[in-house]
Amino acid sequence: MNISWYGHSCFKIQTKAKRGGEEIIIFTDPFDKSIGLRRPQGQANIVTISHNHSDHNDTELLKGDFFTADSPGEFSIQGVTIEGIDSFHDDQQGAVRGRNTIFMLESEDIRICHLGDLGQELTEKQIDAIGDIDILMVPVGGTYTLDSKTAKKVVGQIEPKIIVPMHYKIDGLTVNINDETEFCNELGATIGEKLSRISLKKRDLDEIENKVIVMSVINS
């Protein structure tokens, strides 16, 4: 499995659900041009959309007859298992920014949780539904999503093997949110070299626990 990041909450996940099978390409929360970053583009098989705001739901440049998951529910697409869990975009029961869908993706025996624009601490019901997670993609920039302190609490609720911060301030982004520094400090993680791609297999996760990986934006 290979994971790249376009910035904001948009990841490109390349996987083969079956050994020797065709590559499946998944995009999460593709954004429009308004946020100042290069828009996600290319062939897609699956697209997840956590909520219908323009910085999370723009599929215009994606190609192919892709399946779009944009609501809670359970789906199985080309061997990839997807589960969407209802949640809130704020800590006021959705009164300010509405609802958000958390997505779990499972392929190659690796479970990924993309929290979308989560704005709340998780309930026990949500924690049970999420289950064991290998890779957690968590918003940390505050203002519109979890801030660094609440993001730390949510990480503790899920206890993933790998933590990938997202939805934070980077060069070129016009959205007024914080960068990843405070979140990494909260977790006691040192920001070293930022990875342009995460490449791993299930066996690579055996000895990993609470590892923070800060990514750089894909450049091709």
Domain contains 72? yes
Domain contains 178? yes
The residue segments making up the domain with residue 42 are 2-212
Domain contains 219? no
Please give the sequence-ordered ranges of beta strands (E in DSSP) within 16-98, or none if there are none. Answer: 24-28, 42-43, 46-48, 62-63, 67-69, 73-77, 80-88
Instruction: State what percent of residues in the chain have pLDDT above 90.
Output: 84
pLDDT in tens, 145-198: 999 999 999 999 999 999 999 999 999 999 999 999 999 999 999 888 899 999
For residue 17, give the nearest of 78, 62, 60, 61 by alpha carbon: 78
pLDDT in tens, 84-97: 999 988 888 878 88
- Angle CA(200)–CA(204)–CA(208) in degrees, nearest 5? 115
For residue 93, the domain's CATH number is 3.60.15.10
pTM (two decimals): 0.95
Domain contains 218? no
The separation between CA 59 and the C-alpha centre of its own chain, rounded to angstroms, equals 16
Domain contains 63? yes
Which band of pLDDT confidence, cut at 50, 70 and 90, is reported for residue 220? low
The total domain count for the chain is 1
